[in-house]
Amino acid sequence: MMSVFCEEAPINVKTSYAFRIYDFDDDDMFSRGDIRELLNRLKSDNELSDLECEEIIDYVFSEADLDTDGYISYPEFEQLITKSPDFIHAFRMRI
């Protein structure tokens, strides 16, 4: 597990691992529920309202759900990561 957080780990390894981490219901797709769970785990109490969370989820899906089927597949997630050049630098641990 720690090798994926190494600075030298390839982007495809990091992307695959991140996808599995955030797929909370383990169905190989990101649903609105997965994104909601991620937001709940990231925010502190009362930091974001339910309406703000829904707006974030709507934005994520408008950017990432390319086939508009209501889910974000792994290829769509990969495409989203290419829009985020900081991902490879943020998805690491320095020990």
Return mean pLDDT, the chain: 87
The pLDDT tens digits of the residues spanning 15-40 come to 898 899 999 999 999 999 999 999 98
Give 36's contacts (C-beta < 8 A, 6+ positions apart).
Answer: 53, 57
The verdict on pTM exceeding 0.75 is yes
User: How far is it, in rounded angstroms, from Cα 46 to Cα 35?
Assistant: 17
With a CB cutoff of 8 Å and minimum separation 6, the contacts of 78 are 12, 15
Contact (CB, 8 A) for 30 and 72? yes
| 13 three-class SS | helix
34 and 23 Cβ atoms separated by less than 8 Å: yes
Q: Which two tokens stand for residue 85?
A: 């050049």
